[in-house]
Amino acid sequence: MSQISSPAGAPRTLESKWRVLITVMFGIFMIILDSTIVNIAFPTLRREFNASLAEAQWVLSVYVLALGVTTPISGFLADRFGIKRIYLLGLALFTFGSLLCGLAPSLGLLVAARALQGFGGGLAQPLGPAQLYRAFPPKEQGTALGIFGLALVAAPALGPILGGWLVDLQIWRAIFFVNVPIGVIGVLLGTGFLPDHRIDRRPIFDPLGLATAVIGFGSLLYAATAVETNGWSDPLTVTALLTGLVFVVISAYVEIKVAKEPMLNLSLFGNRTFLNATLVGYVATVALFGAEFMMPVYLQAFRGRTALETGVILLAVAATSAVATPLAGWLFDRIGPRLNVVVGFAILCVNTWQLAQIEGSTPLNWIVFLLALRGLAVGLTLQTTFTTALSSIAVPMLPRGSSLLNSTRFVVQAISVAILATVISSAVSPQVQAQLSRAQEAQTASGPAFGVCETPGVRPEDNLPPGAQEQLAGLGSQQAAAARANLLAGLQRACTENINGFEAAYLLTFYASVVALVMSLFFPGWPGKWEGRGSMQSAPPAGH
């Protein structure tokens, strides 16, 4: 890292820009880590609070909802009260919420504390990249965002490992307490290292835009999270989805035609580079989080791997992303984003097609290789699209632009995961779904690993659901043999139907990747002329 010059004999310290980068990475890593670490502990939370699936689902849903409704207003609040102040407020709220989660004596209080976490995360997360653009000169912003991207790709992969380890140790509350010291250090670092940018003019409050955006984004996110337990045809899901769509349209009309100073500056989508990079970035988001949703289900439910083993396998994504993301940032500064996204999406197309061919007995070594290849593709595309979009707008618009990008990405991520889950479940017959539900309940109660397609260390003819052996022992020999044969045939059918569902889901993301590959050809950069960030947008007004 770079160092600043100092008088003879004086200690040498990091340049201000690197201190800003380290500080922002520290806080954002914690927020993103929490989005996946809690998922691993979900069955444990159900048992701890004796909650139904629908009740316990709010532990996950309310966090996503709070993120979604807070992120759209973070840019306005940063312009109104200062980007440093709002970032630190968000980080402090997230840390305090984590403490309350760890102390929560009931499910209701845990849900409330998770909402506080989400509000804090929604304020802080979009403002991290905006501060990096102010700290680094244009010729180094790609490198800075590439290094910052390590937090975006490493945290989701490390969450299942850390969460699985803590759950295995039967100290599930530690998944929340671990955030407290990290958050306190993050706030202290931010207080000392982040520059306090002065506000030249206070923006006008847009109450109608705020209300319609919060209702619209909140309803869409609720619909996406409710699908898993209620399905798309449930009246509550349909109502939430239609409400979200209507209010998003109303919000867009208000922001474009009514508001004197819109909270969400949708005119940014009039910038062709911003629009193209944003749309392509949605596909990269689906590729990362969609794969992280589908692969753990495949490995745990159908291949019988534990949560910790699954987390270790998924590390392949983080390992190659950790190499590709900083490299992509370095290339962005020198030759522009086009080569990154074209190569990345070409790899993603091939990789997704390969994942669409997996079976219930595909060697895990091959799956690890495919995940590593996917990490390389995501590392080249995810942060590059984000950097390209923000690089195409003027510096004073960065908080609003980052807020717009993050809020829409949350919605795309949640809805795409719901759609992929629906594609998988639609391939499974009602009889098989009922059988899997019974096996899942038995698994939750008894604990031992079980995979529908295979269970490690268990012969195929002995691979029965938890509790089945005890039931068969109470039958006569002929009855037991017939019952065993029926169980094994049912499991084979369940394996086949679910694998077909996974293939269909990956094929859907394959087609999306092909579209993104074509769109990425229109990005700026090599082999065209590239003159850095300034070549994509006009210079900011004097004084900003």
- In the three-class reduction of DSSP (H, G, I as helix; E, B as strand; rest coil), residue 3 is classed as strand
**Residue-level pLDDT at 541:** 37
Mean pLDDT along residues 403-417: 78
**pTM of the entire structure?**
0.76
**Residue-level pLDDT at 389:** 83
- Tell me the per-residue pLDDT of 336-355, one tens digit each, with 9 for 90 and over: 888 888 999 899 899 989 98
Least reliable range by pLDDT among 206-215, 326-335, 402-411: 402-411
Is the predicted pLDDT of residue 8 greater than 60, yes or no? Answer: no
**What does the buried/exposed string (b/e) look like for 341-371 if buried means 16 or more CB atoms within 10 Å of the residue's CB?**
bbbbbbbbbebbebbbebebebeeeebbebb
Mean pLDDT along residues 287-292: 64
Contact 287, 438 (CB under 8 A): no
Write out the two tokens for 498. Answer: 């679910």
Q: Which residue has the higher pLDDT, 76 or 199?
A: 76
When pLDDT is cut at 50, 70 and 90, the band that residue 445 belongs to is: very low
Q: Which residue has the higher pLDDT, 119 or 262?
A: 119
**Residue-level pLDDT at 5:** 39
**Residue-level pLDDT at 11:** 40
Q: State yes or no: cis peptide before 326, omega within 30 of 0.
A: no
Please tell me the distance from the alpha carbon of residue 322 to that of residue 331, in angstroms, as a whole number.
15
Mean pLDDT along residues 27-34: 81
Give residue 254's identity as a one-letter amino acid code: V
DSSP assignment of 180-206: HHHHHHHHHHHHHHS--PPPSSPPPP-
Write out the two tokens for 72. Answer: 């759209």
| Mean pLDDT score across all residues of the chain | 78
- Tell me the per-residue pLDDT of 189-208, one tens digit each, with 9 for 90 and over: 888 888 877 666 677 777 88
Rounded to the nearest 10°, the torsion over CA 270, 271, 272, 276 is -90
Write out the two tokens for 195. Answer: 């520059």
**Residue-level pLDDT at 543:** 36
